[in-house]
Structure 1
Amino acid sequence: MSHTRSSRNWLLPLYAAFILLYLLLPLIIVIPMSFSDTSYLAFPPKGLTWHWYGEFFNSAGWMSAMYRSLYVATMSAIVATIVGTLSSLVLARSRRRWSIMMRWLFLGPQVVPVIILALGVLLLFTRLELYGSYTGIIIAHSTLALPFVITATIGVLQQTGESMEKTARVLGASPFKAFWYVTLPCIAPSVFAAFVFAFFVSFDELVISLFVMAQNETLPMRIWADVRQDLSPVVAVVATLLIIATALVLVPIELLRRKSARAAGLTPE
């Protein structure tokens, strides 16, 4: 019995370590390739150089694609965060049956295959004359990011409950002031985390951008074109920079969210 129990004790950590290695292996491979001194992707790299980093930052095409992606992702994240947080507030406070149905409907963009969503968006935007416009891609990306915002915020809204907000209302605060000064500070870490997730969902999105952005290349579109035509180490440079940026942003946010949840007496999810 003790032998079986000890086997289970090391099998689970071994399995977790294997899965973690499997997930991190592509990242471990991509980063060294960004320093390769060859004109093509090679692993292991035959030499080390910073040349391809200079090539990326000095390229007008890569820089314009990056700035375009940053703008679209920021605006999409703002729209998705505002709409998603207000929707979560309504859904969390409602006890009616329709709220359950609405939750499933809000998850639609996450459930439906992206290629089908992209085709529908293309047909709709062509009729509305939004094809190739920033307004169109921001609407599409914010819709795609909306389920992530709702998922990130609705749980903490349900945990905080309505008691503090009702107390503020009893003391004379208006509904807006009760939300702004009581509810929002409690959920602020989760809202900010939702904003960051929405930003990266938009920044990383390729399929819908290919369908509706025409010649206005975003960074994923530029990467896709380079992979199909050139396959130079610049692609590995972009991937490496995105990996570093994601780690620098998401890890502190998750630690802050957990710390805030513990300080508020909530169980971090």
Structure 2
Amino acid sequence: MTPAHPSSARTWLLPAYVALVLAFLVLPVCLVIPMSVSETSYLKFPPTGFTLKWFAGFFASPEWIAATIRSVVIGFWSSLFATVLGTMAAFALRRSTRWDRLIGGALLSPQVVPVIIVALGVMLIFNRFHLYGSTVGIVMAHGMLAMPFVVVNVASSLRQRGETLALAARVMGAGPVRAFWHVTLPSLRASISTSAIFAFFVSFDELVVALFIMGRNETLPMRIWANVRDDLTPVVAAVATLLIVVTVLAVSLSEWMLHKPSREIPAG
């Protein structure tokens, strides 16, 4: 009998490993969905019966709706704040000099330092400047946490495309502002848009900083945390299911924007 060739074993070993990793990551998320339609008043798997009353309970609760709206508003402004400043920083650091690398490392520090340390420092500063519990304060804090992702994404796209198109526009007679507005910025539109979507969800899902500085002004993650700590009803599973659907749609939109074929520039 001919022994199996080592290369044939490697051909299925890697896909099997990837499948196991994906199952480990996705399966706990998928288990939440059936628990959100269970008739029991506590989390149970496998679910018993089928009901949508937990979704109705979410939409009928003023506390849940207020927390959701607050998180959406904070996420929108945090995303705008992080996207604008992060894009500007990516352009400013595109030369890759020693100082650019040093400043770029400092901009990435919010994702390197443990988030609880960041939250403690932010709380001490905000108490001094009377920003504790304010929307402006949480927008600034969440924008700071999301900015590294914008800088990395936009800077990577800028390095891949370089400044060839902008230089070509300058050679053809366009000024620096016109070359930036009509050539460079449109070429980065997909990466900037996906960065904005990612920054929104960084803010929308953030819990630790919000717990430190928002007080009684609950965001949606704070409301989920309070429910898990005190009640642990299937409403949490219903909220998680809605968030899964929204996240999948947002990721699909960002992937479509990244891979959408760019329109050709008409001749003449």
TM-score, shorter chain, exceeding 0.5: yes
Distance 1:261 1:46 in 2: 49
- Supply the distance in 1 between the matched residues of 2:127 and 2:48 (Cα, whole angstroms): 48
What is the TM-score of this pair, normalised by structure 2? 0.94
Matches within 5 A, 1:116-155: 116-155=117-156
1:4-83 correspondence runs (5 A)? 4-83=6-85
Gaps of 5+ in 1: 265-269
Q: Kindly tell me: are residues 174 and 114 of structure 1, through their superposed partners in 2, closer, same or farther at Cα, counting changes over 3 Å?
A: same
Which letter does structure 2 place at the counterpart of 1:209? A
- Aligned partner letter, 1:133: S
| Distance in 2 (alpha carbons) for counterparts of 1:252 and 1:59 | 30
Superimposed CA distance per residue, residues 32-70 of structure 1 (whole angstroms, 9 cap, x where no aligned partner): 010011111111111110000100011100000000000
CA distance in 1, matches of 2:164, 2:9: 48
Question: Retained in 1: the 8 A contact 2:194–2:257?
Answer: no
* Correspondence 1:1-269 to 2 at 5 A: 3-92=5-94, 94-260=95-261
Give me the whole-angstrom Cα distance separating, in 2, the residues matched to 1:262 and 1:9: 39
Cα separation, 1, equivalents of 2:262 and 2:169: 21
Q: TM-score, normalised by structure 1?
A: 0.94
Distance 2:253 2:215 in 1: 36
> How large is the RMSD of aligned CA atoms in angstroms?
1.7
Unmatched tracts of structure 2, length 5 or more: none
Tell me by how many angstroms 1:91 deviates: 1.2
Deviations along 1:218-249, one digit per CA (max 9) or x if unpaired, are 00000000000000000001110010001011
Q: Please state whether the residue corresponding to 2:194 is helix, strand or coil.
A: helix
Contact 2:83–2:195 (Cα < 8 Å) also in 1 = yes
- Deviation of residue 6 (structure 1)? 0.6
Aligned residues: 263
The letter of the residue matching 2:57 is E
Deviation of 1:261 after TM superposition, in Å, equals 7.8
Higher share of residues assigned helix: 1
Query: Identity rate of aligned residues, in percent?
Result: 51
